[in-house]
Amino acid sequence: MTAPANAAPALSIVVPAYNAADTIGATLESVFAAPAPEGGIEVIVVDDGSTDAARLHAVLAAYPAVRLLVHPANRGMCAARNTGIAASTGRFVTVLDADDTLVADWTAAFARILAEWPEGAGLCFAGCRTPAGEPTRRVPDYRGPLSLATFLSDRYAGEYLPLFRGDYVRAAPYVDLGTRKSCGNLSYLRWLQDGPIHITAEELRIYDTGRAGSVSANWARADKAAESAQCLEAEIARYEALFRANAPGLVERKQLKLAVYRRLAGLPGAWRAFAAGCGLGRLPETLAALAMLLAGPRVATALVNFAKRANLIKRYG
């Protein structure tokens, strides 16, 4: 179903695309395979300075309903998201990676989400699952508010698909540090200042972490680790007082993570960050960070990947 002329569509789907010609076809196919929700949809793809732009645009030609916006040069994930969000007109907006897909029955799930989403919440987290059907959330069945305190505690940590009320996100877009990756926590901490985020158990997105070149792959690569370090530094600088008031010890744990990312990136200051975060009250985290700093990038990466597979540390989010 399409929206009446001059009416805002029910949902805007923003798809940032950087060198995504090989994957975006499956993403768009998943969007259009299901009937559009009542009120219709608009799909906006933002070519973020892709080096495969010709192939990308050829793929998009098969989807004439897609609106294409182009950054002449690569500006990073949040800039691409914000360009699409600013151009959107939907009553609701979501951002879908160009290497992920929507579930087959996403329209019905979206309708159920709207029925439970509290009016006062500007943002709703919808569930994701892997291609094997594994939920990507620590508490898959949870439905309810995500407060600042529970966000900082990681109680409901995981990978979610964000759904926004359109007017809300157009007025308060993603925090953009100019990095290729998204420094998601900076945006979530900003939005949580406005009130709780709603979490639904309904699943909308299939989140593929195993594909080579995926958005979440190669997290320990030097350039990605450097950007993760930049994100953590910004979190600590902007929100240290908030962290200390609501989650004692969190700043120190973030310093330990910062130490590891600096080591993986080959940046100076890894041991300085370790010294700021280590302590007997955080003995397991301190020893784990120390082992990774001493082991070097290759062994540290293998240790973290093993710990994730064994569920010793959170795998998503």
The residue type at 33? A
155 located within any domain = yes
Q: Which of 145, 178, 206 is the last residue of a domain?
A: 206
Specify if 102 maps to a domain.
Answer: yes
Residue 305: its pLDDT value, please? 65
Angle between helices 250-265 and 283-295 (to 10 degrees): 10
* pTM recorded for the entire structure: 0.91
Are residues 253 and 229 part of one domain?
A: yes
Asked whether residue 5 is domain-assigned, the answer is: no
Exposed (0-12), middle (13-18) or buried (19+): which is 119, by Cβ within 10 Å?
exposed
Domains held by the chain: number: 2
In a domain, 213, yes or no: no
The pLDDT of residue 315 is 58
CA–CA separation, 213 vs 224, rounded Å? 12
Q: Which domain holds residue 104?
A: 11-206
Task: Classify 51 as helix, strand or coil.
Answer: coil
Amino acid at 106: W
Tell me: do 30 and 150 sit in the same domain.
Answer: yes
Q: Is residue 6 part of a domain?
A: no
Q: Is 216 inside a domain boundary?
A: no
Per mean pLDDT, which range of 52-56, 268-272, 277-281, 300-304 is the poorest? 300-304
User: What DSSP string runs through 140-198?
Assistant: TT--EEE-HHHHHHTTT-B-EEEEEEHHHHHHS-----S-SS--HHHHHHHHHTTSPEE
Confidence of residue 312 (pLDDT cuts 50, 70, 90): very low
One-letter amino acid at 31 equals V
Q: Quick one: 128 and 34 in the same domain?
A: yes
Q: Are 285 and 226 members of one domain?
A: yes
Joined together, the tokens standing for residue 87 give 């151009």
Q: Are residues 44 and 145 in the same domain?
A: yes
Residue 47 has pLDDT above 90, yes or no: yes
DSSP codes, 87-134? H---SEEEE--TT-EE-TTHHHHHHHHHHHS-TT-SEEEEEEE-TTS-
Residue appearing with tokens 């609106």: 67
